[in-house]
Amino acid sequence: MNDSLISIENMVKSYSLGGETVTALHRVSLQIDSGEFLAIIGPSGSGKSTLMNMIGCLDKPDSGSYILEGQIVEKMTDNQLAAIRNKKIGFIFQNFNLLPKLSAIQNVELPLLYAGIHHSERKSIAENCLKKVGLLDRANHLPSQLSGGQQQRVAIARALVSNPPILLADEPTGALDSKTSKEIMDVIKQLNEQGHTIIVITHDLNIANQAKRVVQIKDGKLYEKGGKELEISSIY
Ligand SMILES: Nc1ncnc2c1ncn2[C@@H]1O[C@H](COP(=O)(O)OP(=O)(O)O)[C@@H](O)[C@H]1O
Ligand SMILES: [Mg+2]
């Protein structure tokens, strides 16, 4: 027994494709404590998205265990997975995934609308989340009227509405220039300081080195190096 927020032990995940089996995760073990700011770095095809799908309760492993805040994820039904995912995890994606016809605040409110929260409460929660990402003054803009960095901030605000303990970001700066990437990482850092556990998945060393802890994934296996900043030669 341990009291990690996330405890993954010996996780294996394979895909079969046209009679062939690809093992995307090879006995991966990873413990993450509450309040950590972790980056998972690896090249294309290394298993990052597969691991993200596991951590995010979007899919289940073939074998191994996953305990999230004391709950045994690998035994859950699809409905149980959806419930734990909605409660515990805010997702941030590379391409923002905003609905183009909805304003910033309407995009942020959407998960609350689906959850059946009343209009006035929705508005106040969404405004508070837009404020956290410094974008309240753009609440009524459409995504097309916002820069890429501003759109990502709207997406982060949307991830925050259920106040999830964990924020899981898959290449959150992959569509942004380096200056805007830094701004987004600064927002993510602030959220970590406010108590959210952050997991950023990236192939970009500059992004990974902004996290407090970095693990590497290579051919479906995890590696962790103590303390020091990573160098490009150790990853590719
Ligand atoms: N649905 C799938 N069916 C078959 N193979 C897959 C599937 N998803 C991923 N893979 C394979 O698993 C490996 C890891 O993929 P992925 O987790 O997407 O890596 P990354 O996100 O690091 O690029 C790759 O070899 C990929 O081709
Ligand atoms: Mg991927």
What average pLDDT score do residues 118-145 get?
Answer: 97
Domain ranges of the chain: 36-59+81-229
Q: Beta strand 166-170 with 89-92: parallel, antiparallel or unpaired?
A: parallel
Strands 166-170 and 197-202: parallel
Which residue's CA is the closest to the ligand 1 atom numbered 17?
47
Q: What is the mean pLDDT of the chain?
A: 93
52 in contact with ligand 1, CB cutoff 6 A: no
Quick one: what percent of the chain has pLDDT higher than 90?
A: 90
Q: Does the pLDDT of residue 9 top 80, yes or no?
A: yes
Question: Tell me, what's the pLDDT at 225?
Answer: 75
When pLDDT is averaged across residues 177-195 and rounded to a whole number, the result is 95
Helices 178-193, 148-160: inter-axial angle, 10-degree rounding? 20
Compute the distance from residue 49 Cα to the ligand 2 centre, in Å. Answer: 4
Answer yes or no: is the C-beta of 53 below 6 A from any ligand 1 atom. no
- Fold classified for 36-59+81-229: Rossmann fold (3.40.50)
Write out pLDDT tens, residues 150-167: 999 999 999 999 999 999
- Percent of the chain whose predicted confidence (pLDDT) is above 70: 94
- Residue 235 is predicted with a pLDDT of 60
Average pLDDT over residues 47-76: 95
Q: Within its chain, how far is the Cα of 197 from the centroid?
A: 10
234: pLDDT strictly greater than 90: no
Q: Which ligand is nearest to the CA of 45?
A: 1
Higher pLDDT, 226 or 64: 64
pLDDT of 3 higher than 80: no
Q: Please name every residue paired with 90 in a beta bridge, in sequence order, or none if there are none.
A: 167
Which ligand has the shortest distance to the CA of 94?
Answer: 2
Give the per-residue pLDDT at 2. Answer: 53
189 and 207 Cβ atoms separated by less than 8 Å:
no
Q: Enumerate long-range contacts of 145-148, CB under 8 Å, 24 or more apart.
A: 146/104, 147/180, 148/96, 148/175, 148/176, 148/177, 148/180
